[in-house]
Amino acid sequence: MGFLEWATSPWGQRVPIHIAWFLIWVAVIAGLLFFIVHATYLRYFAKAREFAGSNSPLLVARIPEHVPRHSLTARLFHWVMAAAMFTLLFTAFLPKVGFQFNWVTYHWIAGAVLTASILFHIIHASFFMDFWSIWPDRIDLRDARRRMLRSVGKAAPPPDRFAKYPLENKLYHGAIIAAGLSVIITGVFMMSRVRTIFFPRNPYLFSDMTWGMMYVLHGLAGVGLIALIMVHVYFGLRPEKRAITKSMIFGWMSRDFYLEEHDPARWPVEPSESPARSRGADTEGLTDAG
């Protein structure tokens, strides 16, 4: 069984038309296998984490009780994007596994919402947030090597605590960018083949081969997003990650979690100067607007 489905054009050219739909189940099974392997590793093989250095009592006293992590704008973007993404996946793939309904209109509307939210996020992240906080740096790569060596029993210094985003979050962000931009760019062009409010229908914009490759890329990115979103939800529900999930709802994380997981030198927050300010820090005290 091939990974692509092919057809013959009116001119006798063999062209791809979309991915083979069994890849949906490949993505789902891959996500489930990841859950099992990761949970088994943490349960039976993972060693207790150890970080370099410690926080001074003076520093601890200066950190607010609620450490701001995500602004209201960032949280609204996240949940709008999540709603659009789930709508896209359900409308794209449920008909392929037996649930038939008139999905095209819902699909392109969700795609338009996703595209608009991503464009907004690019502008917001570039000009109103710490743009580089989500990209890997040299310390991330150095500490990843240290953690790998220590996990197999080799001598290595303990890694530093994380910046605002651990390396795995940054790598996941990169994977989502690649898959998300692939479905958005191809999806915008594919909207010209259906009737929408944005531009006239024009199915002859590209050649049959170009359309076919576009559908293939759109489908591959779509099934990739199935596995990526499954992994994202899995980590969001894990007990050790719930403080991060909670911060995407309420905007802040506790001082204890911040000091345990994060390095104040790599992710600084404004110190609390009084109990009143400490209680209000979730709306005032962030040097990183995200």
pLDDT in tens, 23-45: 999 999 999 999 999 999 999 98
pLDDT reading at 288 higher than 60: no
Reported CATH class of domain 15-40+83-237: mainly alpha
Q: Determine the Cα–Cα distance for residues 134 and 182; give it in Å rounded to an integer.
A: 20
| Mean per-residue pLDDT over the chain, rounded | 90
**pLDDT tens, residue by residue, 99-135:** 989 999 999 999 999 999 999 999 999 999 999 999 9
Residues 191-197: what's their mean pLDDT? 91
Q: Determine the Cα–Cα distance for residues 71 and 125; give it in Å rounded to an integer.
A: 12
Q: Determine the Cα–Cα distance for residues 229 and 279; give it in Å rounded to an integer.
A: 34
pLDDT reading at 272 higher than 70: no
**pLDDT tens, residue by residue, 217-244:** 999 999 999 999 999 999 999 999 999 9
pLDDT reading at 280 higher than 50: no
Residues 251-264: what's their mean pLDDT? 96
CA atoms within 13 A on the CB side of 128: 11
* ∠ CA 169-28-30, rounded to 5°: 65
**pLDDT tens, residue by residue, 154-178:** 999 999 999 999 999 999 999 999 9
Angle between helices 72-93 and 208-237 (to 10 degrees): 120
Q: Three-state SS for 152?
A: coil
Taking the CA atoms of residue 76, residue 114, residue 97 and residue 37 in that order, the dihedral angle to the nearest 10 degrees is: -60
Whether 76 and 183 have beta carbons less than 8 Å apart is answered as no
**Distance (Å) of CA 3 to CA 19, 121, 217, 220, 227:** 6, 34, 12, 10, 17
**Between 247 and 290, whose confidence is greater?**
247
Domain range list for the chain: 15-40+83-237
**pLDDT band at residue 184 using 50, 70 and 90 as cut-offs:** very high
**Phi and psi torsions of 269, nearest 5°:** -125, 155
